[in-house]
């Protein structure tokens, strides 16, 4: 499995060009992309990255990738990230790494988003393998949980008695739906709940998905209307 993650992560970097501003995702597959980007910097590529988590920032610095902030650039040319689920329309569930808020901000500011995964992340319908992470403010989070569950899921606080705290100081509820067959609607419904900061549905953001399998690598592209 780790070999496939490495293949997918490094393959995604083939779209990187010198002079780009890069969004740097978070997760085990993205680790290999960061490693390769660092190699390109060592080879003379003029690149600068915007990390989506504190952990990614540490890795980028270790690999020699120059960093900047989103507020200091006019655009992000390309973001490379992973995903927890990918459906046939290239809609995603993300956030099991705990960085979904910054990941979505960076992806939304990017001209192109490439998602690198192994084939275990492919699903016919979202929500069938992974829970949906929903980031919430800590104040009144149990009330927020009740509102989330009214949408048809079971929500569990990540970390339970010792809650996981995101880099931005929030909690995450991992929400189990039987299936998410209308992710566009659910994304909107979740965003209307007071206390919800962001959710892990990434709809219409992935430009390409790089998929590593036992037989090699395939690339799927989202067809824009």
- CATH code of the domain containing 144: 3.30.70.260
User: Is 42 part of any domain?
Assistant: yes
Tell me how many domains the chain contains: 2
- Say what the pLDDT of residue 46 is: 98
User: Is 224 part of any domain?
Assistant: no
Q: What is the mean pLDDT of the chain?
A: 96
pLDDT average, residue stretch 142-152: 98
- Say what the pLDDT of residue 174 is: 98
Is 85 a residue of the active site?
Answer: no
CATH code: domain of residue 21 = 3.40.50.1360
As beta bridge partners, residue 211 has: 117, 218
User: Is 189 part of any domain?
Assistant: yes
Q: Based on the domain organization, do 23 and 108 belong to the same domain?
A: yes
pTM of the model: 0.95
Is 90 exceeded by the pLDDT of residue 114?
A: yes
User: Is 127 part of any domain?
Assistant: no
CB atoms within 10 A of CB 185: 13
| Structure confidence by residue, pLDDT tens digits, 152-170 | 999 999 999 999 999 999 9
Residues in the chain: 225
Q: Based on the domain organization, do 157 and 56 belong to the same domain?
A: no
Q: Based on the domain organization, do 99 and 208 belong to the same domain?
A: yes
User: Is 220 part of any domain?
Assistant: no
Q: Based on the domain organization, do 19 and 71 belong to the same domain?
A: yes
User: Is 221 part of any domain?
Assistant: no
Q: Based on the domain organization, do 90 and 65 belong to the same domain?
A: yes
pLDDT average, residue stretch 18-30: 97
Q: Based on the domain organization, do 36 and 145 belong to the same domain?
A: no
Q: Where are the beta strands (DSSP E) in the chain?
A: 21-24, 48-51, 78-81, 85-86, 92-93, 113-118, 132-136, 154-157, 171-176, 196-199, 201-202, 208-213, 216-221
Residue 113 half-sphere exposure, CB side, CA atoms within 13 Å?
A: 22
- Say what the pLDDT of residue 224 is: 59
Q: Specify whether the CB–CB gap between 80 and 10 falls below 8 A.
A: no
Is 70 exceeded by the pLDDT of residue 104?
A: yes
In this prediction, residue 1 has a pLDDT band, given cuts at 50, 70 and 90, of low
Q: Based on the domain organization, do 8 and 53 belong to the same domain?
A: yes
User: Is 223 part of any domain?
Assistant: no
Say which residues have a Cβ less than 8 Å from residue 113's Cβ, sequence separation at least 6.
23, 78, 79, 81, 107, 205, 206, 207, 208
In this prediction, residue 2 has a pLDDT band, given cuts at 50, 70 and 90, of confident
As beta bridge partners, residue 136 has: 171, 196
Q: Based on the domain organization, do 173 and 70 belong to the same domain?
A: no
Q: Residue 179 belongs to what domain range?
A: 132-199
User: Is 113 part of any domain?
Assistant: yes
Q: Which of 14, 35, 58, 103 is catalytic?
A: 103
pLDDT average, residue stretch 32-36: 98
What's the CA gap between 29 and 27, in Å, rounded?
6
């Amino acid at each position: 499995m780790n070999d496939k993650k490495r293949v997918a992560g490094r393959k995604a970097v083939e779209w990187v060009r010198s002079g780009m501003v890069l969004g740097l995702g978070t997760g085990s597959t993205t680790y290999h992309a960061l490693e390769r980007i660092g190699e390109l910097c060592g080879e003379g590529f003029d690149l600068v990255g915007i990390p989506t988590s504190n952990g990614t920032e540490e890795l980028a610095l270790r690999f020699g990738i120059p960093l900047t902030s989103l507020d200091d650039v006019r655009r992000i040319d390309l973001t490379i990230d992973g995903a927890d689920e990918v459906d046939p329309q290239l809609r995603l569930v993300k956030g099991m790494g705990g960085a979904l808020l910054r990941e979505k901000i960076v992806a939304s500011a990017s001209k192109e988003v490439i998602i690198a995964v192994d084939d275990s992340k492919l699903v016919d319908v979202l929500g069938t393998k992974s829970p949906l992470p929903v980031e919430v403010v800590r104040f009144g989070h149990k009330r927020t949980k009740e509102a989330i569950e009214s949408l048809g899921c079971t929500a569990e606080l990540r970390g339970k008695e010792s809650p996981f705290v995101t880099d931005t100081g929030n909690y995450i509820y991992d929400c189990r739906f039987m299936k998410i067959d209308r992710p566009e609607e659910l994304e909107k419904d979740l965003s209307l709940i007071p206390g919800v900061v962001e959710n892990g549905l990434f709809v219409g953001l992935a430009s390409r998905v790089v998929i590593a399998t036992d037989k090699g690598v395939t690339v799927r592209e989202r067809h824009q209307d």
